[in-house]
Amino acid sequence: MSPSILVAGATGNTGRSATETLSKLIQAPDSPLRNHRILALTRSADSPAAKHLVTLPGVEVIQQNWVEITSEWLQTHHVVRAFIAPHVKPSQFAEETTFHLALLHAGVKYVVRISTAAASVRPDATAYYARGHWAIEALLSVPEFKALHWTSLQPNAFGSFWFYTAAEFIKEYRKTGRADTVLKLMAPKDTAVGVIDPDDIGVVAAHLLVQEDTARHTGKRYVLNGPEDISGEQIVQMVERIIGVPVQNVQYKDMSGLDAFLEMEYMGNGQNRNSRNVIWSIRRAAETAWGGQVTAPPTSKEVLELAAPRRTPQQMLESLLG
């Protein structure tokens, strides 16, 4: 059986573009991985995204939850390289490190993982998942994991999340013709943030996964920012250019959408009610962007050399509009 590149979460924000780009890259005549298969994991093989991926050259879609993968499973499928975009649930550290341990014991050579904004990956981060990313990177750095090459991508805020409410405001205006409703933005009014399109992140991951020499990238933490910084006020101006009239009411640093998501996703069934203080610490992650810290680390030069992020804020917003 041919060696495999595993993409965990292949139908997610970054996994889809990672899979699409891998399919193109390994088909190149000079690719060192031309004989490799791509195993695209999904929780639903019947989803539209999964049905799209199965049509790509070299891609095999498998319905499998990555948190249940064992070293035996990896060996059976001849996995030699892997990609993972982990969830941000409180069980992230336990489940992702179990995944990496399985990679190590199975003899997998290289893994590319998605972390979070570089300014947030620290042991004293107020958002629990950012501390989790720091701890996972620290674990992968110990001598016991030396045989497993790894790279951690530390992307800025996702454009799909940053511009979602702006897109919804535009859609509502197109239906009703009313611009007097409140445009709620998570972005601060004056501080510019280098938000990035998730597709660009997946493209970078794919370019790393096809590198013949992974040793030069192992243990590295690469920062990814979008090509343009944008403030909340600039988002409003962008909305006004699209709808052609002034936006009358704007609320910056708005967390109501995130609150509703957290309540529905984590607190609705009662299973995580004892962890409310942990779950709600996600809200504190935005404070890093509000304080201007997220723009501090520039995009890593290795990223610029491999596949520089290209999607602008205008393009990200337009893609959300369909």
Residue 137 has pLDDT above 60, yes or no: yes
Same domain as 87, residue 69: yes
* Position 101 in a domain: yes
* Position 72 in a domain: yes
In this prediction the pTM is 0.93
Segment 124-150 shows an average pLDDT of: 96
For residues 214-229, b (16+ Cβ closer than 10 Å) or e, as one string? Answer: beebbeebbbbbbbbb
Residue 183 has pLDDT above 80, yes or no: yes
Same domain as 68, residue 34: yes
Same domain as 243, residue 204: no
Decide if 174 contacts 136 (C-beta within 8 A).
no
Same domain as 138, residue 245: no
Same domain as 140, residue 103: yes
Domain count, the chain: 2
Segment 152-164 shows an average pLDDT of: 94
Model pLDDT, residue 205: 98
The position carrying tokens 């049905």 is: 51
Tens-place pLDDT, residues 249-308: 999 999 887 777 777 766 665 554 557 778 778 777 777 777 665 455 899 999 999 999
Model pLDDT, residue 311: 97
| Residue with more model confidence, 162 or 264 | 162
Residue 109's CATH number: 3.40.50.720
Same domain as 79, residue 182: no
Same domain as 287, residue 308: no
Model pLDDT, residue 79: 98
Return the structure tokens found at 198: 């998730």
* Position 22 in a domain: yes
Decide if 308 contacts 299 (C-beta within 8 A).
yes
Same domain as 250, residue 103: no
Model pLDDT, residue 297: 80
